[in-house]
Chain A
Amino acid sequence: MDGLRKDQSLVGATDNINEETNNITQKVISEGGEETMVPPVGNSIHRSSSRPQLDLSGAAIQGNFEERDPTILLPNQSDDISHLALDIGGSLIKLVYFSRHEDRVVNDKRKKSAKERFGVSNGNIRRTFPILGGRLHFVKFETAKINECLEFIHSKQLHRGDNDNAVIKVYTMFEKATGGGAYKFADLFKEKLGVSIEKEDEMDCLVAGANFLLKAIRHEAFTHKEGHKEFVQIDHNDLYPYLLVNIGSGVSMIKVDGDGKFQRVSGTNVGGGTYWGLGRLLTKCKSFDELLELSQRGDNSSIDMLVGDIYGGLDYSKIGLSASTIASSFGKAISENKEIEDYRPEDISLSLLRMISYNIGQISYLTALQLGIKRIFFGGFFIRGHAYTMDTISFAIQFWSKGGAQAMFLRHEGFLGALGAFMSYEKHGLDDLMVHQLVERFPMGAPYTGGKIHGPPLGDLNEKARWIQGPDLVCSNQKGTYFICNLLQISWMEKFVRKGIKITAPVPTASPRTTGLGGFEAPSSKGDTLRCDESNLNVGVLHLVPSLEVFPLLADPKTYEPNTIDLADPNELEYWFTVLSEHLPDLVDKAVASEGGTDDARRRGDAFARAFSAHLARLMEEPAAYGKLSLANLLELREECLREFNFFDAYSTIKHRENEASLAETRLLTLIEGVLAANIFDWGSRACVDLYHKGTIIEIYRMSRKKMQRPWRVDDFDAFKERMGFGDKKHQRHKRALLFVDNSGADVVVLVANSLPALNDVTAMELPEIVAEAAKHCDILRGAAEAGGLLMDAMINIQDSPREKSSSTPLMVVENGCGSPCIDLRQVSSELAAAAKDADLVCCFNILYIYLVILEGMGRALHTNYNARFKCDALKLAMVKNQRLAEKLIKGNIYDCVCRYEPAN
């Protein structure tokens, strides 16, 4: 395949343009708005009119036409390609680029009315959110194969962007080390892309990159102890000062006091270069990764002198040293009459790795201690997500601080420099980005920061589906071969496909993978189970959604944790993985059906199943691979994966049918009963799917209505009734109620709905239609909907006299910004936030109780937010459709009902 790539490489492909300059018909091929510009190659290209296209007007060949690979000038690009920054390292080139994506304009009328109602105009939104929505991509290339990188940049026209002066910001540490580093490549960039590269200050970059990551990504930092990763949520107000330890060839220790405020305080000459350099001399390894890989199978006790060796197996406990503590690195080589060849290279590599990591950990801690710094973050090419390295550094810090300090690592550690260089653009617009405006997604093509190198995210869906079916099909791709080579480099996917790993049900994890610390024990599990790339973490695409906000009615956003279930518990993890796996075939059926059951849909369905199984397998082997794992993330990942394979609404068929079959209940009890019972219609629940196969959902609904006698398992109905004014006391009416709806179907009392389809959850786009239909059956609803501007005929008057329309409570629909069955209230749409914002004002007058938040359904009220506290009254309604969850959460049984009312204060 290598040959194939070379034959039809981009360079070759662009050749054709010489002959057909006027014939450039090539289109941007992309998926879900993902720009993927591919240079013209023949006619057999998959096209999708729904996707953005490259504006080819004014296209011209730049430079000499005789050149083999002239640059094509495409001056009239839309603004969705933006800045690009590089980190040119000795072995890897890391690339960070930003592509702009406006929110898809959906359901304009509804949005418009909602916005007007809440006093938010489009213009306002623009002004309030100066940050441009878009995506931050992370890509890696081997430095030795810099042409691939150049081709990639070229293919995406990343060097154009809106950056007229055509300068690429570059971070590099390898000036002279690589015989030129950035400068060596400068000519190449000039020649191939016509751009200059501009070297940014190394430390500026590191600090800017780290600051961005720590401020903008919620679970960026993690600790690593004995093979176990734990994410640490950093309080942004308490971030500084911190010590940033960058382990490159040497080690720099930088005290960071704020944005652009930093000072190099220490360092050591014993760093990654020492490991690699000495390691190369000692083991004859050809690459850093090879050396690192060797260490996985090593046993350092054959070379290091351990405390036990000196004390004859006794611990020298007085100074807190165990027998396996290294007393002297390489100390055993002294007393034995062995030559270098008599030692296993594996052992040498591990011994060296431990010596250097431990030393770095120790000096870092000492430096931090001296400066009174609490937090130490480690980055740099030496770490590479390598478990031993991280464990050893952590151990050193824990040992010397007597448990008082922790080493922290960064998920995007490998991209620190490139990200920093990116931040150095004046107009990247990411300065004020807040944590809640960022969503990380893991499409199949997102790079996986291992030793392996990766190309760009997959561009074209068909290509992806084909590829995931098996490597053979890749070759039949007609779109030009560029992506093929990259596809082949997506190593972890490749691994699953090649090895034919089929996930039926996740197997229990083996005993927690330990890297054997707590002393420098020999690793308890050796060999393949501890491959270095397995301990690494995936890096997704960062979606910047400036309009996301923290839900204003949360009692304490800082302590808010949406998830009810802790997946750090291996039993829980295994259970939910099993649930998801078992549910997968059914989901695929529904998804395929939703697209008319065509061959194409079937093919995509299979690909989706493969892809999602691969996600699950990856997470099973490394739960921290995508950041902190929670059920909410997991469910969202599934929805995202469906969308990635162009299943935009897998349940559309079912939703439609069920909505028609059931409408309207109004009285309070029946309303809540209805909500609870209707909650049964839930495609996320295996039990319900089984039920559904036996009858229609509406039958089950009726049946369950009968069965559903109060008291429910969690029953605050009386309190809620009292509050709603049915009791003796007079209460002020709730001024506004925010009802987070979930399942489409029998229950249609609405306010907040998903932005994107997830399971059979109703979406904001669908709701008005449903309400309109329902309104035909119910005058109250009709009045409310008209007042809320949901019905078409009401639209005309809404601007003139929205309030005098009727005495009905206005009913409106807003989207919540989510595409998942669960909801993380730290990241909701600005629209929803605006709807709740008035509450902020009211808050000042201590009359918050006039607001009501109703969370409904398993995903929103149980899996997440069951324990969430609000500033206002809150009602959580759900039927538990999972035996285990029922036992865990409410000590009840499946189909028990929860009606949890929590008054403000």
Chain B
Amino acid sequence: MEGDRIEEVRLVHSPVDEISHLALDIGGSLIKMVYFSTSREQPIDKTQINASRDSHAVSRSSKDGHLLNGRLYFLKFETSKINECLDFISSKQLHYRGLQHCGFPASDKNIIKLTFSTMVKATGGGAFKFADLFKEKLGISLDKVEEMSSLVSGANFLLKAVPSEAFTYVNGQRNYVQIDHNDLYPYLLVNIGSGVSMIKVDGDGKYERVSGTSVGGGTFWGLGKLLTKCKSFDDLLEMSHQGNNRVIDMLVGDIYGGMDYLKVPVHFLVTWEQIGLSSTAIASSFGKAVSENRELEEYRPEDVARSLLRMISNNIGQVSSHKLDFCESKGEAKAMFLRHEGFLGALGAFMNYQLVEEFPDTIHLAGEKNRNPLVGDLNDNGVIECCVQARPAVED
């Protein structure tokens, strides 16, 4: 379960001491949560023991109000276990959006009381589906933010504000890409959720859904679960790393006797496991299962998971590549990945509060360490330090 890290979160101070903002992206299979907290105590992660830094919430003044330093936290829950999510919000009182004891000089106007928030920004299909549940359990209304605009504003924010957010993956190596803000647009955003959306982004708030496919993360997990009896997405992914797809896939050589009929260059390749193999090698995914009289049980689950992953990721890459026609030189198009890729929607919903100032200088990843970029780092939910304007609730 991707929400695993939540369990490792410990809170030292009482939540009342904190300022928090919460945004949700409730998808078909996962709930992604982004929240901002001024708490100095960040969630402690086993892998991030040395991550604590002295990050006093420092206030700076701006024209519109106060700026707060704090951190953005990223969490995932399974949608089927939505109660865990509700409990978490409740326990951390994240739906209390308040500013108190924050080190601000108290003035009449700027005293901010603990305010019960009635609205939480939310996106994803579940924002509609579970609206009643949130109302009932937590007494909050979900303020629905349109899904694609969330994805886009989340991605734009990350690409512009967070250094070393994007990376390419070549031969098992992560290479961080410095994005030139002036040369960011247009880009194709391929959002792989349960399904896959492909969005051409031309600027802030300027985007168009150009393609998509129903063969996405949900397919990998769903089919994988049926085929391997694997209990979690991460297990499945982990298993796929140890598998060999040649056992089940019919390779080009299998069909064409080694002749290479595939003369088309592959422009764009998204591979989840980021192995970077050419998609051309597979002639027919699961094609070998046709001719061999082997039952499902006779295949290693690892191999099955591997074939599945290759099938789905190659396919996404291919469907995406066709939508790159706005790139002048397709040959140079590269697949880039975002460190916070799972949280684009939630982050975008958070952006919808219009709290975050995009000061790239002030935003950095907390806990940025030299970690092994390979295994176990697929969902690098790096905490982002950033500034948030302190203006809501009071002025209204």
Interface residues of A, Cβ cutoff 8 Å to B: 90, 173-179, 202-203, 248-250, 252, 263-274, 276-278, 280-282, 284, 288, 303-305, 307, 309-312, 314, 316, 318-319, 325-336, 339-340, 343, 348, 355, 358-359, 362-363, 366-367, 369-370, 400
Cβ contacts under 8 Å, A273 to chain B: 250, 283-288, 290
CA distance A202 to B295 in the complex (A): 31
Is the Cβ of A250 less than 8 Å from the Cβ of B283? yes
Question: Residue-by-residue, is B202-238 near A (CB-CB < 8 Å gives 1, otherwise 0)?
Answer: 0000000101011111110111011101000100000
Q: Is B305 an interface residue (CB 8 A)?
A: no
Is the Cβ of B262 less than 8 Å from the Cβ of A264? yes
Cβ contacts under 8 Å, B287 to chain A: 177, 249-250, 269, 271, 273-274, 276-277
Is the Cβ of B146 less than 8 Å from the Cβ of A269? no
Is the Cβ of B311 less than 8 Å from the Cβ of A269? yes
Is the Cβ of B284 less than 8 Å from the Cβ of A277? yes
Cβ contacts under 8 Å, B254 to chain A: 175-177
Q: Is B315 an interface residue (CB 8 A)?
A: yes
Q: Closest residue to A333 on the B side, CB-wise? A: B222
A-B contact pairs, 12 of them (CB 8 A): A249-B250, A270-B311, A276-B290, A277-B248, A281-B304, A304-B214, A305-B195, A328-B218, A332-B218, A334-B225, A366-B211, A366-B319
CA distance A589 to B355 in the complex (A): 91
Cβ contacts under 8 Å, A176 to chain B: 253-255, 257
Cβ contacts under 8 Å, B148 to chain A: 319
Name B289-330 residues within 8 Å CB distance of A.
Answer: 289-291, 295-296, 299, 304, 311, 314-315, 318-319, 322-323, 325
Q: Closest residue to B26 on the A side, CB-wise? A: A310
CB-CB under 8 A for A278 and B125, given A176-B257, A305-B194 = no
Query: What 4 A-B pairs have minimum CB-CB distances, sorted nearest first?
Result: A310-B125, A331-B218, A273-B287, A328-B218
Q: How far is the CB of A639 from chain B (nearest CB, A)?
A: 45
Cβ contacts under 8 Å, A325 to chain B: 214
Q: Is B279 an interface residue (CB 8 A)?
A: yes
CA distance A269 to B283 in the complex (A): 5
CA distance A264 to B283 in the complex (A): 14
Q: A281-B296, A328-B29 are in contact. List 16 more A-B contacts (CB 8 A).
A: A90-B290, A176-B253, A250-B287, A263-B263, A266-B318, A273-B286, A276-B287, A278-B285, A282-B296, A284-B295, A305-B222, A312-B128, A333-B226, A334-B194, A334-B221, A355-B214
The total of interchain contacts (Cβ-Cβ below 8 angstroms) comes to 241
Is the Cβ of A326 less than 8 Å from the Cβ of B248? no
Cβ contacts under 8 Å, B229 to chain A: 339-340
Question: Residue-by-residue, is B115-131 near A (CB-CB < 8 Å gives 1, otherwise 0)?
Answer: 00000000011101110
Cβ contacts under 8 Å, B124 to chain A: 310
Residues of A contacting B: mostly: mixed
Cβ contacts under 8 Å, B168 to chain A: none
Q: Is B49 an interface residue (CB 8 A)?
A: no
Cβ contacts under 8 Å, A339 to chain B: 226, 229
Q: How far is the CB of B345 from chain A (nearest CB, A)?
A: 12
Cβ contacts under 8 Å, A288 to chain B: 290
Q: Closest residue to A286 on the B side, CB-wise? A: B293
Q: Closest residue to A251 on the B side, CB-wise? A: B284
Is the Cβ of A328 less than 8 Å from the Cβ of B222? yes
Q: Is B27 an interface residue (CB 8 A)?
A: yes
Cβ contacts under 8 Å, B194 to chain A: 305, 310, 327-328, 331, 334
Is the Cβ of A363 less than 8 Å from the Cβ of B322? yes
Q: How far is the CB of A348 from chain B (nearest CB, A)?
A: 8
Q: Closest residue to B298 on the A side, CB-wise? A: A281
Is the Cβ of A264 less than 8 Å from the Cβ of B227? no
Cβ contacts under 8 Å, A334 to chain B: 28-29, 80, 194, 218, 221-222, 225, 233
Q: How far is the CB of A281 from chain B (nearest CB, A)?
A: 4
Interface residues of B, Cβ cutoff 8 Å to A: 27-29, 78-80, 124-126, 128-130, 146-148, 193-195, 209, 211, 213-219, 221-223, 225-227, 229, 233, 248-250, 253-257, 261-264, 279, 282-291, 295-296, 299, 304, 311, 314-315, 318-319, 322-323, 325
CB-CB under 8 A for A277 and B290, given A175-B255, A271-B284 = yes
CA distance A319 to B199 in the complex (A): 11
Is the Cβ of A318 less than 8 Å from the Cβ of B146? yes
Q: Closest residue to B129 on the A side, CB-wise? A: A312
Q: How far is the CB of A280 from chain B (nearest CB, A)?
A: 6
Cβ contacts under 8 Å, A249 to chain B: 250, 255, 283-284, 287, 290
Cβ contacts under 8 Å, B215 to chain A: 270, 328-329, 355, 359
Is the Cβ of A269 less than 8 Å from the Cβ of B249? yes
Cβ contacts under 8 Å, B221 to chain A: 331, 333-334
Cβ contacts under 8 Å, B284 to chain A: 248-250, 269-274, 277
Is the Cβ of B325 less than 8 Å from the Cβ of A335? no
Q: Closest residue to B27 on the A side, CB-wise? A: A310
CA distance A177 to B248 in the complex (A): 12
Interface centre among A303, A362, A369, by most chain B C-beta atoms within 10 angstroms, is A362
- Contact with A311, one of B128, B255, B279 (Cβ below 8 angstroms): B128
Is the Cβ of A369 less than 8 Å from the Cβ of B227? no
Is the Cβ of B214 less than 8 Å from the Cβ of A278? no
CA distance A271 to B250 in the complex (A): 11
Cβ contacts under 8 Å, A336 to chain B: 80
CA distance A271 to B249 in the complex (A): 11
CA distance A176 to B126 in the complex (A): 47
Cβ contacts under 8 Å, A369 to chain B: 322
Is the Cβ of B125 less than 8 Å from the Cβ of A269? no
CA distance A355 to B311 in the complex (A): 12
Cβ contacts under 8 Å, A355 to chain B: 214-215, 219
CA distance A50 to B282 in the complex (A): 57
CB-CB under 8 A for A335 and B128, given A249-B283, A276-B290, A281-B286 = no
Is the Cβ of A269 less than 8 Å from the Cβ of B282? yes
Is the Cβ of A358 less than 8 Å from the Cβ of B128? no
CB-CB under 8 A for A277 and B28, given A252-B261, A307-B125 = no
- Contact with A277, one of B214, B279, B286 (Cβ below 8 angstroms): B286
Is the Cβ of B289 less than 8 Å from the Cβ of A331? no
- Contact with A179, one of B128, B222, B291 (Cβ below 8 angstroms): B291
Interface centre among B80, B211, B226, by most chain A C-beta atoms within 10 angstroms, is B226
Q: Closest residue to A340 on the B side, CB-wise? A: B226
Is the Cβ of B291 less than 8 Å from the Cβ of A328? no
CA distance A269 to B264 in the complex (A): 14
CA distance A335 to B217 in the complex (A): 13
Q: How far is the CB of A702 from chain B (nearest CB, A)?
A: 73
Cβ contacts under 8 Å, A332 to chain B: 218, 222
